[in-house]
Amino acid sequence: MKRIVILSFICFFVGNSFADEIISEKEFAQRYVNAISSKIEGVKAEIKGHLEVEVTYSDGEESTTYLDNAYKNYRSSPYELDVVIESYSKALMQSNSDVKVKMEKSHIFPVIKDIEYIAQITALMKRNESDGEFPFYYEKLNEVLYILYAIDTPSSIKYMPKEDIAKLGVKEEELKSLSMANLKKAIPSVQIEGDPSTISMIVADGTYEASFLLYDDLWTKDNFPVNGDIVVYVPSRDVVLVTGSNDVEGLKKVRSIVYNPENQWSHIVSEVGFVRKGDKWIEFNM
C-alpha cells in the first residue's frame, strides 16, 4: 500500500549554507530527491507534482511525500538550505523504519489542526491530482478546529488515512476515545504554569499541548478560576494560553503574545481564540 507522508517534526537549524536568493519549489524538491537517492540504498525518488515526491523502496513499497512544511522552513531560514534538506531527508529515512515497527493501535494520538490546514493540504492535493482530496481521516471539533489522528514515532508524526485505520482494525467511532487514552497514558498529567486565575499556559511534552483541549476534566473553573468563561488561544501545537472572557488585561496580554510578529510559531494551529461553553469550544469574539 502506498503511504502518504507530510513530514512534521521540530528542527533546530545551525547551518553552514549560503544562499544569494531563494530557490524555486521545483529546485528545492529536486535537491530533496538527490539527497534521498544518495542516502538510502536501492531507493528511487521522483518528483511527481507540486512539492510532491514519490519514493519507491527496494522492497517495492511506495510512499508519497509532500514538502510544503520543509519548503516553508527553508523560506524562513534561506541560509540553512543544506541543513533543512539534511534534516528532512533523515526524517524520512527514520520515519519509514518507525512506521514499519510501530504501526500499532497504542501509538495513535489525536492532533489538533484548523480549517486553514485542511484547505491548504486539499489545495495542494488538487494541484497535483485532478480529483485530489484531503488524504487523512479527520473529525470536526468546531467550526475552526479539527481532530486528525496520527501514528506517533520517535522522529515524526504521521497522519492516518482511512486505509491505515482500517488496517489496524479500529472503527472510526472508536478513534477519539482510543487516541485520547493513548495520549493520557503517554502523558499522564499536564502542568499549569503562570497564574490560573489571570493568565496561564498548559505544559505537556512540547508536542501535544493543543491535543489536551479534548480533555473535559482539565477545563474546569477549579483548575482555571478566571474572570468569566475560560478562553484559550492555541497559536501552535505546543502553546496553549489561558485567560478569562471578562479579563480585559489578560486578553490584551495573551493577544499581544499570539500576534507578536517576533514569535515565529512552528506547527501553527490557529490565531483565533476559543471560549469554553459547557463541554464545547466555541470561537471567541471579543
Q: What b/e string do you get for 4-35 counting C-beta neighbours within 10 Å, with b at 16 or more?
A: bbbbbbebebeeebeeeeebeeeebbebbbeb
Q: Are 148 and 159 in contact (CB under 8 A)?
A: yes
Q: Are 197 and 145 in contact (CB under 8 A)?
A: no
C-alpha cell at 65: 511525500
pLDDT tens digits for range 79-95: 888 888 887 777 666 65
Least confident of 40-44, 193-197, 224-228: 40-44
Beta pairing class for 3-6 and 62-66: parallel
Least confident of 12-21, 30-39, 157-166: 12-21
How many Å apart are CA 172 and CA 138, to the nearest integer? Answer: 10
Q: Are 48 and 54 in contact (CB under 8 A)?
A: yes
Using CA of residue 127, residue 131, residue 132, residue 138, what is the dihedral sign? positive
Average pLDDT rounded to a whole number, residues 126-148: 85
pLDDT tens digits for range 206-265: 889 999 999 999 999 999 999 999 999 999 999 999 999 999 999 999 999 999 888 777
How many Å apart are CA 220 and CA 21, to the nearest integer? Answer: 51
Q: Flag whether the pTM goes above 0.85.
A: no
Q: Which of the pair, 153 or 223, is modelled with greater confidence?
A: 223
User: Residue 17: pLDDT above 70?
Assistant: no
Q: What is the DSSP letter of 22?
A: P
CA torsion angle 98 138 266 87 (round to 10): 30
If phi over 0 gives left and psi between -120 and 50 gives alpha, with beta otherwise, what is residue 169? left
**Where do we find the cell 489578560?**
250
Share of the chain above pLDDT 90, in %: 47
- Residue 137 identity: Y
For residue 217, what are the contacts with CB-CB under 8 A and spacing of at least 6?
Answer: none
Measured in residues, the chain has a length of 286
Sheet containing strand 3-6, edge to edge, reads 3-6, 62-66, 52-56, 44-49
Q: Where are the domains of the chain?
A: 3-101, 105-185, 188-284
Strongest mean pLDDT among 57-61, 128-132, 144-148, 167-171? 144-148
User: Residue 266: pLDDT above 80?
Assistant: no
CA distances from 42 to 36, 37, 47, 61 (A): 10, 8, 17, 12
C-alpha cell at 165: 485505520
Average pLDDT rounded to a whole number, residues 18-39: 81
For residue 40, what are the contacts with CB-CB under 8 A and spacing of at least 6?
Answer: 57, 93
Q: Are 148 and 137 in contact (CB under 8 A)?
A: yes
The pLDDT confidence band at residue 16, using thresholds 50, 70 and 90, is: very low
What is 169-186 written as a DSSP string?
Answer: T--GGGHHHHHHHHHHHH
User: Residue 100: pLDDT above 60?
Assistant: no
Looking at residue 176, what is its pLDDT? 96
Residue 211: closest CA among 247, 238, 191: 238
